[in-house]
Each structure stands twice: as structure tokens, then as C-alpha cells.
Amino acid sequence: MTERGRTYVTASEKSFKFVLSSRNRERALEALKRIPPLRARTSEKEPSAAVLVPLCTVSDEVSLLYTLRSSDLRLHRGEVSFPGGGRDSNDDNLVTTALRETEEELGIHQNKVDVWGMMPSVPTRKQDSSVAPCIGYIGSIDVPSLKLQIGEVEEAFPVPLWALCEPQNFRYTQYKQAGYSLPVFLGGKHRIWGLTAIITYQVLCVLAPQNFTSRVKFAHRVRI
């Protein structure tokens, strides 16, 4: 809604409940199949890890749920991430990995997750390594009641989709020498960057393309 050149977000628009409709879900699942991979594959090596992108409702707002990794960890300490981790030998597939790790980190039982689908794997900083993101709806949640895994997860926090889609909350960092750019998201409790920001960017393009209009203006496919 606009008034004298200014834009206002109505309560119904701000809730982003349309994202959860069966019609939007079907459209999003089709769009998932068309996401181009970030990596120009040099091998057929399968991803060794997976994360769940937890779509949820918090205080009547459709949101994404993020975690803040513990500052005591040896790797990626204090970084914003999605729940997930390395594939176990007992995991049937990468969906199982994402759900198992989410239950371990946040106490959300695997049966409570409505899996929407898998996204193309995203390359990590480690050579020839990638992570497979899985989109899943975990329902309406009370964040303080989540059972965080002590020693690994310092905090869990939601960011409403409307906030992620606001142009003023979107930035990107250019790595001109390396030949690519990475998105950065503000508007939440913590800055979202790196691999988590890449996944967030792709998820928003799929779930709410009419609302998320920000684009990285200098980017190339990552070659590893």
C-alpha cells in the first residue's frame, strides 16, 4: 500500500501467510527444480552434509528459524546457520541427515517436520565439499521452549519473511578478484552472511518471488 510516495506494509501482507498455501507450495516445488547450481561441478561427489531450512510461524508471522553457533566451537564459532551437520553412516539420505541434526540441535522431533523438498547443494569453503539444504515447515513454534543442544547452539532466533524481503535489509559483498558476490541479510537479531545467506537468498526467490525483489548485481557461478 502506498501513500504520497511512501510504502506501507499491511498486517495481512506482513504475515506472509500466502507462502504456506497449497497453491504456493506447488509453485515453489516446481521452482526448486529450476534453481541453477552455484557450483560448476568438477566431480560427481555427493554432499557430505545437510541443513534444514525451517519455515515456521512465530507470533502469527511466517518466518525462517536460524541458529547461532556456540562461541566455544572450534569451527564456525558464533556464526549464524541453519540446523544441520554431517551425514551419518546410518542416515538413509540427506533429508534424514537434516531432520536428525535438527532434532539433536533444537529438540524438534523429525515427525513434526513437513518436508517440502531439497535444494541444489551449496559449495562450502572446503574444497570439493558442499551442503544440501532441505526446506521443511515446522509449524507454529514458541522459540524459548526449544531444547537447544548445549555446547553447539548458543541461540535460536526467527526472522520474519517480510523483514528478509525488505530491500533496506539486503546487502551483498563483492569479491571482484575471486569473481563472485555473496548476499548479506540484516533486519534480524544477527547479521546473516556466508553459506546461510546464499541459502536464504535462494529460498526467498522460490517462496516469495513477487515480494523478494533484491538481487545480487555482480555474481558468477562458484568454481571449486
* Tens-place pLDDT, residues 13-38: 567 999 999 999 999 999 988 887 76
Q: How far is the C-alpha of 160 from the C-alpha of 165, rounded, in Å?
A: 9
Q: What is the pLDDT of residue 187?
A: 84
Architecture of domain 16-160: Alpha-Beta Complex (3.90)
What's the maximum distance between 2 C-alpha atoms anywhere in the chain? 60
Across the range 152-169, mean pLDDT stands at: 94
Query: What is the separation of C-alpha 13 from the centre of its chain, rounded to a whole number of angstroms?
Result: 21
Query: What is the separation of C-alpha 106 from the centre of its chain, rounded to a whole number of angstroms?
Result: 16
| Res. 112 pLDDT band, cuts 50 70 90 | very high
CB atoms within 10 A of CB 182: 19
Burial tier of 185 (Cβ tally within 10 Å: 0-12, 13-18, 19+): buried
Go through 207-221 and write b for each residue having 16 or more CB atoms within 10 A of its CB, e for each that does not: bbeebbebebeebee
How many angstroms separate the Cα of 1 from the Cα of each of 6, 8, 136, 224? Answer: 8, 5, 31, 44
Pair 175, 221: CB distance under 8 Å: no
pTM for this prediction: 0.87
Q: How far is the C-alpha of 66 from the C-alpha of 101, rounded, in Å?
A: 13
- φ/ψ (deg, to 5) at 167: -55, -35
Whole-number mean pLDDT of the chain? 85
**Cell numbers representing residue 109 in the block:** 522431533
